[in-house]
Amino acid sequence: MSQGESIIRFEKVSFEYRHNKPLLEEVDFSLRRGSKTTIMGQNGAGKSTIFKLITLAAEDTHGQAKTLKPTSGNVHIAPKLTIAVSRQVIPHNQLDMTVRDFFASYAKASEGQAKVWDIDPKIDDVLEVVNLHATHDRIVRSFSGGQQARLLLASALIQNSDVLLLDEPTNNLDKDGIAHLRQFLIDYKKTCIVISHDAEFLNAFTQGVLYLDARTRKIEQYMGNYFNVVEQITARIEKENSMNARLAKIAIEKKEKANFFAMKGGRLRLLAKRMREDAEEMEEAQVDVRKEDKTIRKFSIPAQPELIGEIASISSFLIRKNGQSLTKKAKISLKKNRHLLLTGPNGIGKSTLLEALASGTAKGAKVNSGIKIGYYRQDFSTLNPDDTVYNSLLSVTNGLEEEEIRSTAAGFLITGDIIHSKIENLSEGQKGLVSFARLVLQKPGLLILDEPTNHINFRHLPVIAAALDSYQGAMILVSHVPEFVEQIRIDEILDLEL
């Protein structure tokens, strides 16, 4: 395969999960060998579906049965092209594997069913690339969210494929992890396609953008780095709006003249008819300007009423450092309208402390009785995958009317048939929006938030930050996104590493 040749091509590809629920409509684009491309688009627009169609088309070229096919059109993959995917989350059936078995499953997948004899050196090599140190008999579930994100990337790298697909690779990564991944992608010589909402991260290596418009369900392909493409899109929208305004003005003027001449009778009526036809042509010439992604409505999270005195406290906590568990002292007392930020590197124990607080099993930390806890988990495990969205929202309310539940849901772009969809059928970004809608309806006294920016469209983040900033109950936040944290009032910081 020569450098720069087209290796992936979508030809008028349409796709719908079920009848009358289209995600893609006659999508056309092509990608060249060695390119580094970003896929942009609204949560739930179908970005991850494009990844699935690419991987399954590649399987088909290898003689494997496809489980997902376009409704119409074709996905063309270069012969013998190999593709590896770093997904958003580790599948549940792999969480109880050892590190060795976890990587062996991916190495075998890339090499057929042949036994992988030399897996240990390969594991060490890919763990070094992602800057993660771990014994090969450690259980995957024991890693933090950020460490699992590194395992996901390493699982793709161990396959040594022609194309690397990364789905939200910066989720849960700390500052050092993001910097390490960014440099890796800058130096990466093979083809790479990335889905991410992190603009600064994307701009470091992106050479082109595929923008999936959730409204038209089509792909717009742009060349250039991320910021350059955003400028191109903005300039195009301004130009099209200006042209439309000019055509609309001319059309109105012609209609007014046509009405005037029509009243005169005789030959002037023919002139009036031609002017009306010209006006209609002007209106038809107006282009359908691409609208920006929808942004969630401004919202607030009501605090549990009549909060008095201490809500939660932390006097000691466990951390994990250099493979050992250590107990550290603290003096944290959270009352109404107090916001605490937990900081520290991936794997030190931030999520473990939040989970223990929420479940009431923490040693040296507690939530006082009668306090309603709103818990936003980074893996969305507080959501029952078999629930419909409506039932999930209903489960945290206390007899609210359906109209209020639907109104709250609509503010988070949960409209139409989405509210009757099962949680398991939502995108990760949509699960995040459902989680925020539940917090609004729940009215908690203590808000526990573990990486609430993961999977969320960047347009929503200022709205979410404003809601957290104004929250009047007690709040404990973990986030590795400094631009997000800077928008939120933080009263106290507990650095687990110090």
**Residue type at 77 in one-letter notation:** I
CATH of domain 310-495: 3.40.50.300
pLDDT > 50? residue 378: yes
What are the tens digits of pLDDT across the range 291-304? 556 789 999 999 99
Identify the three-state secondary structure at position 52: helix
Q: Is the dihedral of CA 200, 203, 206, 208 positive or negative?
A: positive
At 117 the pLDDT is 61
Identify the three-state secondary structure at position 373: strand
Residue listed under structure tokens 């390119």: 35
DSSP character string of 217-244: --EEEEES-HHHHHHHHHHHHHHHHHHH
pLDDT > 60? residue 65: no
pLDDT > 60? residue 109: no
Tokens of 31: 């990608």
What are the tens digits of pLDDT across the range 229-284? 878 777 777 777 777 778 778 878 878 877 877 777 777 777 778 777 877 776 67
Q: CA 269 to CA 447: how far, in whole Å?
A: 70
> In this predicted model, which residue has the larger pLDDT, 323 or 446?
446
Could you name the CATH architecture of 6-225? 3-Layer(aba) Sandwich (3.40)
Phi and psi based region of residue 227 (left: phi greater than 0; alpha: psi -120 to 50; beta: remaining): alpha
At 110 the pLDDT is 56
User: Is the distance from CB of 171 to CB of 455 less than 8 angstroms?
Assistant: yes
What are the tens digits of pLDDT across the range 162-207? 999 998 888 878 888 888 889 999 999 999 999 987 888 889 999 9
> In this predicted model, which residue has the larger pLDDT, 258 or 431?
431
At 113 the pLDDT is 42
Section 68-97 average pLDDT: 89
pLDDT > 80? residue 3: no
pLDDT > 60? residue 62: no
Identify the three-state secondary structure at position 70: coil
What are the tens digits of pLDDT across the range 212-224? 887 788 898 999 8
* Strand order across the 6-16 sheet: 22-32, 6-16, 72-77
Distances (CA, A) of 284 to 74, 251, 279, 288, 477: 31, 10, 9, 10, 51
Q: Which residues, 6 or more positions from 132, have their beta carbon under 8 angstroms from its beta carbon?
A: 147, 150, 151, 154
Ranges 33-42, 343-352, 416-425, 434-443, most confident: 434-443
Percent of the chain with pLDDT over 90: 46
Q: CA 178 to CA 183: how far, in whole Å?
A: 9
> In this predicted model, which residue has the larger pLDDT, 371 or 289?
371
pTM value? Answer: 0.72
Tell me which residue of 132, 133, 140, 128 sits closest to 89, measured CA to CA.
140
Helix (H) / strand (E) element for 366: namely strand 365-367
Tell me which residue of 413, 405, 318, 354 sits closest to 44, measured CA to CA.
413
Q: Whole-number mean pLDDT of the chain?
A: 86
Q: CA 18 to CA 389: how far, in whole Å?
A: 18
What are the tens digits of pLDDT across the range 282-339? 667 665 555 556 789 999 999 999 899 999 999 999 888 777 888 999 999 999 999 9
Q: Which residues, 6 or more positions from 420, have their beta carbon under 8 angstroms from its beta carbon?
A: 388, 389, 390
Bridge partners (DSSP) of residue 113 are 111
DSSP character string of 417-446: GGGGSBGGGS-HHHHHHHHHHHHHHH--SE
User: Is the distance from CB of 153 to CB of 115 less than 8 angstroms?
Assistant: no
User: Is the distance from CB of 207 to CB of 226 less than 8 angstroms?
Assistant: no
Q: Do domains 6-225 and 310-495 have the same CATH topology?
A: yes
User: Is the distance from CB of 99 to CB of 105 less than 8 angstroms?
Assistant: no
DSSP character string of 93-143: GGTTSBHHHHHHHHHHHHEEE---TTHHHHHHHHHHHTT----TTSBGGGS
Q: Which residues, 6 or more positions from 188, have their beta carbon under 8 angstroms from its beta carbon?
A: 36, 164, 205
pLDDT > 70? residue 458: yes
Tell me which residue of 421, 448, 444, 443 sits closest to 434, measured CA to CA.
421
Burial of 5 (0-12, 13-18, 19+ CB in 10 A): exposed
**How large is the angle between the packed helices 119-129 and 145-157, nearest 10 degrees?**
120
> In this predicted model, which residue has the larger pLDDT, 49 or 118?
49
* Domains of the chain by residue range: 6-225, 231-285, 310-495
At 140 the pLDDT is 93
pLDDT band at 76 (very low <50, low <70, confident <90, very high): very high
Tokens of 238: 């301004």
Alpha helices (H) in 443-478, listed in sequence order: 461-469
Percent of the chain with pLDDT over 70: 92
